[in-house]
Structures are given as structure tokens and as C-alpha cells.
């Protein structure tokens, strides 16, 4: 009996999971059949524009900072709860025809009701307060961990900069690698007097890079002596106070971790802060509240775009509702070109600095460049997810799906083969979420004589420099990189879904269908300049 119970329980949850997945798929199909795939994006847009008037957090915790705490809370909730789990809940509600049950504040529940979404108010409220409690518990444990770390980690960083949200492929020992650290070090407006480069990449040991120390930190200042005592006392008060106020003022519990980071930053001396803090477009919608403090005290808070593929496609009826870019309020943006600067200007109503810097390097690998045939074209696609994952992304149109991506690759391979041109294909990356149809097609292409596969983390610039021309899937940044390097560059759309005047192309020609592709390839082959 003892051996059967776990198996029975496991099968029960597996069955429940399969039933839920079927209903989610049904919800997606219903939206697709009724031409309402943009519903989730529209709902997210409406929610993120709904002010949370019940936000009441005493400004005593913010020191001398003056910023819109309601906006910060709305940003924070957007990235914490309006994610794939929210998409899943909406699709399940549509597919099961049951009211929505999901942790949402009262104002957002009312907005959904106004949009004709069935909402179980009681369940949502119960889940909301449960979510607040769990967030409070998690943030309390994280504070304990960070405080313990400050007691035992003493690092003399000197004048340092901090990169937020990096991976091991963004940092290297080689000055020739085109990653974000090396990009910063060659940027004309960099901080020229730094001793350390800091990051929070797990598992990456500290090392020396030329004369600089590359150090793993959490990005926040290391307090000492009396600072630690004051920080401890105020933190314990905040943790206790926020717990007892969960039912009355839940936003204290929700924002506990962020408030504690702000307090920690406010107790630090000026020389304990980084001169530059760099954030990127994988997390654009929430600006941490502690960054207002470091900015007030003279540090630069920089937000950089490592990609230009940040907009939804234009449709026949115009541009659809975008991701909640209206939330952004960073003080300093690093963008590729005028088009991206205009995009930021449109959404950011603040007096931000926007600097056009050209292409921004982000990641590279140590893989050796394979032998490249003399006449080659580089090809860059977007890896399609499995259907069970893709339907949860809330995309308004079905574009990055295996049918279109495979046709993109197969058309190019066929046309280039006709002209005896090699196809250098650099994938985004293959993970367990990658669609099997795509993987099978890659295996099929691998048997073609003119197909060469390039490591996903290999430096795209080096690939582009060694080819005759570049073909990219709309609207990957590689097309702009190729143009900047003087290489013929296009976006190829095999489906005809992309509009030729889409501003997301940044002026790069958009080629539709295999016939137009043949004409363009012929023009490159016959051009004596190439």
C-alpha cells in the first residue's frame, strides 16, 4: 500500500494536468478560429494602463527620492504576474468556459470585467492575498541570505560598474570577443576610471581582465560597521510591519524585497555605489526602485538594447497593440539607430537621454569558426517553440512557427543551391522547448551539400564578415549588423504576412516569396562590386 499511494497520486495529477492542457489548447483554438489571437495582448495592455489607486506606501522608506511609486508597483506586477502563467489562466478560462481564477488586485479584476471577461472575484482575491504572503516569505528569506552574505564577503571593488542579467556568454577573458562587456569598454562614453566589472552570473569565478577585476556580486552595495546595524534594525521593522499589514496594505508585502534593496542602497556611502548600472531589453518594463537612489547620488543607470526585434509586426489593418512599452521610464537609453530612438521617444514620456550607438554586442562563444566556403551567404532565423509553449506566449499572429521557419530555411537552401552558394545557418539556440519539426528539418538540411551549421553562441559579426551577403528572418538584428558592415542584407518572409513598409525593418529591404528571393540572389551574384 505504501508503494502504491505515491503512484496513484502522481497519476491523478498527471491526469489533471492533461485535462488542463487540453482546455488551454481548446481556448487557443477558439481565439484563433474567431480571429482573436490578440486578446491576451489587448488585456495586458488594458491592465498595465489601469492605475492601482489602492497603492499606499509611506514615502518615509524612500528617503530623499521622489518617484511615482504607483507606476513602480504597476511595473513590478506586470513582470511578476502578467507573464505566461497569466496567459495560461486566460486560455484555460476561455477553453473551460469557467470564470478566471488568478491572483490580481481589485482594480485589475474590475478592468477585466469591463472587457467582458468572466472573473471569480472571491477566488482571485483569495489568490491575490496568498500571492502577497508567499512573496513576503520569499523576500524575507532572500534578505536573510543577502545579509548573511554581506557579513562574510568583503570585497574591495574600487570604482566599479555593474551589469545586470548576464550569462556566461556575455563575459570572457578575450578582448576580441564581441560581448557586452567588451562593447562597453570600447564605447566612447564609458566610465574611463574603473577598477572592477561586476555581474551576478552564477558559477562564474572572479578573474582578472587586463588591469580590471571581474567580480560576481548581487549589484547592491556592501555595507559595513554602523551601516549594517542601522540596516538590520530597519529591515527587521519593515519585515515585521509588512507581515501584519498584508490584509490592510498588501503592497508593503508585495514590494518588501524591493524596499529592502532601496534601504540598503540608501545606507551606503557614495564610494560604495557603482558608477554605472547597466540593464538590457530582456527586462525592460520594471525599473528597480533602488535605481532612483543611485541615480540621485550620481550613478548612471543605463538601459541598452542588444536587439532591434522588439515590436509586433504591422498587419494589413496597421500596427497592433504592442507589449507594455508605455511603462518604461529609464533615465538613459543606448539604442542602435534613429528608428529605435523614435520608438523609445514615443513610449517614454520622461526627459530621458537617448544615445544612438550603432549595433551593441551582447554574447559570443569560444567556438572556433568552421572553414567557410569562398562564396557563402549567412542566414539567421528565429527558433520556433513547441506548440504547448508557443500558445502560451500570447502572440497576436502565428509567425515564428515551424511551418514558416522551415519554409524560410528550405527556400533559401534551394535558391542558394541553384547558384552554387553555401548557406551558413546560425540558429538562435536549441533547447528542450524547441519544436521537433524544426529539429527534424535541421537534420534534413544537414545532409545538403551547401548547408553549414554555425554554433548558436558564435559571434554573428564574425560570420557576417566572412560571407558575401546576409539573409535574416524578420526582424532579427543581424540584418542591421550586416548592413553596418557593408554587406548586402535583406529580411526574407516566405509567407507574405509581413508588410513591406513595416517600420520594424529599420530600412532593410523585405523580400516576399521565393520568386523575389531568386531575383535578389541573382542581383548579388551578378553585381561585380560584390
**pLDDT one-digit tens code per residue, 162-189:** 999 999 989 998 888 899 999 999 999 9
Domain assignment present for 247? no
Q: Are 448 and 489 members of one domain?
A: yes
Q: Are 110 and 181 members of one domain?
A: no
Domain assignment present for 410? yes
Residue 11 has pLDDT above 70, yes or no: no
Q: Are 500 and 381 members of one domain?
A: yes
Q: Are 316 and 437 members of one domain?
A: no
Q: Are the C-beta atoms of residues 73 and 107 closer than 8 Å to each other?
A: no
Domain assignment present for 188? yes
Domain assignment present for 146? no
Burial of 205 (0-12, 13-18, 19+ CB in 10 A): exposed
pLDDT of residue 322: 87
| CA within 13 Å, CB half, 147 | 21
Q: Are the C-beta atoms of residues 274 and 294 closer than 8 Å to each other?
A: yes
Q: Are the C-beta atoms of residues 121 and 56 closer than 8 Å to each other?
A: no
Domain assignment present for 235? no
Q: Name all contacts of 483-486 with Cβ < 8 Å and 24+ positions apart.
A: 483/508, 484/358, 484/359, 485/461
Cα 286 to Cα 68: distance, rounded to the nearest angstrom:
12
Q: Are 67 and 184 members of one domain?
A: no
Q: Are 351 and 384 members of one domain?
A: no
Cα 102 to Cα 205: distance, rounded to the nearest angstrom:
40
- State the total domains in the chain: 3
Residue 3 has pLDDT above 50, yes or no: no
Cα 283 to Cα 310: distance, rounded to the nearest angstrom:
12
Q: What is the mean pLDDT of the segment spanning 466-482?
A: 96
Number of continuous H segments (helices) and E segments (strands) in the chain: 18, 14
Q: Are 111 and 189 members of one domain?
A: no
Cα 328 to Cα 344: distance, rounded to the nearest angstrom:
9
Q: Are 273 and 394 members of one domain?
A: no
Cα 27 to Cα 493: distance, rounded to the nearest angstrom:
28
pLDDT of residue 350: 72
**pLDDT one-digit tens code per residue, 58-114:** 766 666 667 899 999 999 999 999 999 999 999 999 999 999 999 999 999 999 999
Least confident of 298-302, 427-431, 479-483: 427-431
Confidence of residue 371 (pLDDT cuts 50, 70, 90): confident
Give the CATH number for residue 517. 3.40.50.2000
Domain coverage including residue 70: 23-133
Domain assignment present for 245? no
Q: Are 293 and 330 members of one domain?
A: yes
Last residue of a domain, one of 328, 356, 384: 356
Q: What is the mean pLDDT of the segment spanning 507-512?
A: 97
Cα 51 to chain centroid distance, Å, stands at 24
Cα 108 to Cα 524: distance, rounded to the nearest angstrom:
54
Q: Are 100 and 179 members of one domain?
A: no
Residue 5 has pLDDT above 60, yes or no: no
Domain assignment present for 246? no
- The 3-class secondary structure across 325-358, one letter per residue, is HHHCCCCEEEECCHHHHHHHHHHCCCCCEEEECC
Q: Are 50 and 160 members of one domain?
A: no
**pLDDT one-digit tens code per residue, 103-129:** 999 999 999 999 999 999 999 999 999
Confidence of residue 321 (pLDDT cuts 50, 70, 90): confident
Residue 1 has pLDDT above 50, yes or no: no
Residue 412 has pLDDT above 90, yes or no: yes
Q: Are 60 and 207 members of one domain?
A: no
pLDDT of residue 210: 87
Order of strands across the sheet with 212-216?
Answer: 207-209, 212-216, 196-199, 160-163, 276-280, 300-304, 332-335, 353-356
What's this model's pTM, rounded to 2 decimal places? 0.94
Last residue of a domain, one of 324, 356, 388: 356
Cα 328 to Cα 284: distance, rounded to the nearest angstrom:
7
Domain assignment present for 196? yes
Amino acid at each position: 500500500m505504501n508503494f502504491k499511494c505515491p503512484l496513484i497520486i502522481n497519476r491523478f495529477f498527471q491526469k489533471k494536468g492533461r485535462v488542463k492542457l487540453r482546455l488551454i489548447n481548446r481556448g487557443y483554438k477558439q481565439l484563433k478560429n474567431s480571429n482573436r489571437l490578440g486578446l491576451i495582448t489587448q488585456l495586458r495592455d488594458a491592465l498595465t494602463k489601469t492605475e492601482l489607486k489602492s497603492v499606499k506606501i509611506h514615502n518615509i522608506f524612500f528617503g530623499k527620492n521622489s518617484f511615482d511609486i504607483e507606476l513602480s508597483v504597476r511595473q513590478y506586477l506586470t513582470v511578476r504576474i502578467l507573464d505566461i502563467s497569466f496567459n495560461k489562466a486566460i486560455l484555460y478560462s476561455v477553453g473551460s468556459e469557467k470564470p478566471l481564477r488568478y491572483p490580481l488586485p481589485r482594480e485589475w479584476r474590475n478592468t477585466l470585467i469591463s472587457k467582458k471577461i468572466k472573473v471569480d472575484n472571491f477566488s482571485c482575491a483569495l489568490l491575490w492575498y496568498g500571492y502577497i504572503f508567499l512573496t513576503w516569505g520569499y523576500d524575507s528569506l532572500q534578505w536573510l541570505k543577502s545579509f548573511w552574505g554581506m557579513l562574510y564577503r568583503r570585497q574591495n571593488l574600487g570604482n566599479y560598474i555593474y551589469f545586470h542579467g548576464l550569462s556566461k556568454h556575455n563575459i570572457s577573458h578575450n578582448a576580441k570577443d564581441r560581448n557586452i562587456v567588451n562593447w562597453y569598454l570600447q564605447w566612447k562614453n564609458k566610465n574611463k576610471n574603473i577598477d572592477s566589472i561586476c555581474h551576478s552570473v552564477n558559477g562564474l569565478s572572479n578573474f582578472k581582465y587586463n588591469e580590471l577585476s571581474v567580480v560576481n556580486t548581487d549589484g547592491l552595495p556592501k555595507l559595513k560597521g554602523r551601516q549594517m546595524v542601522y540596516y538590520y534594525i530597519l529591515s527587521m521593522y519593515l519585515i515585521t510591519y509588512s507581515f501584519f499589514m498584508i490584509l490592510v496594505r498588501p503592497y508593503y508585502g508585495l514590494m518588501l524585497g524591493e524596499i529592502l534593496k532601496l534601504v540598503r542602497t540608501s545606507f551606503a556611502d557614495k564610494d560604495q555605489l557603482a558608477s554605472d548600472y547597466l540593464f538590457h531589453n530582456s527586462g525592460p518594463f520594471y525599473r528597480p526602485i533602488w535605481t532612483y537612489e543611485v541615480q540621485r547620488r550620481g550613478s548612471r543607470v543605463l538601459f541598452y538594447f542588444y536587439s532591434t526585434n522588439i515590436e509586433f509586426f504591422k498587419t494589413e489593418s496597421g500596427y497592433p497593440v504592442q507589449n507594455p512599452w508605455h511603462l518604461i521610464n529609464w533615465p538613459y537609453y543606448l539604442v542602435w539607430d534613429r528608428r529605435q530612438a523614435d520608438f523609445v521617444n514615443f513610449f517614454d514620456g520622461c526627459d530621458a537621454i537617448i544615445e544612438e550607438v550603432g549595433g551593441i554586442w551582447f554574447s559570443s562563444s569560444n567556438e572556433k569558426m568552421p572553414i567557410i566556403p569562398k562564396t557563402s551567404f549567412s542566414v539567421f532565423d528565429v527558433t520556433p517553440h513547441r506548440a504547448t509553449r508557443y500558445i502560451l506566449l500570447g502572440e497576436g499572429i502565428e509567425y515564428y512557427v515551424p511551418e514558416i521557419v522551415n519554409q524560410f530555411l528550405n527556400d533559401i537552401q534551394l535558391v542558394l543551391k541553384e547558384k552554387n552558394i553555401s548557406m551558413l545557418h546560425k540558429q538562435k539556440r536549441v533547447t528542450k522547448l524547441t519544436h521537433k519539426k524544426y529539429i527534424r528539418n535541421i537534420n534534413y538540411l544537414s545532409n545538403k551539400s551547401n548547408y553549414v551549421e554555425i554554433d548558436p553562441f558564435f559571434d554573428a559579426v564574425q560570420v557576417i564578415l566572412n560571407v558575401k551577403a546576409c539573409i535574416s528572418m524578420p526582424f532579427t538584428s543581424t540584418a542591421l549588423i550586416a548592413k553596418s558592415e557593408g554587406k548586402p542584407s535583406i529580411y526574407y518572409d516566405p509567407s507574405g504576412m509581413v508588410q513591406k513598409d513595416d517600420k520594424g525593418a529599420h530600412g532593410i529591404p523585405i523580400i516576399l516569396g521565393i520568386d523575389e528571393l531568386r531575383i535578389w540572389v541573382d542581383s548579388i551574384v551578378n553585381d561585380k562590386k560584390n
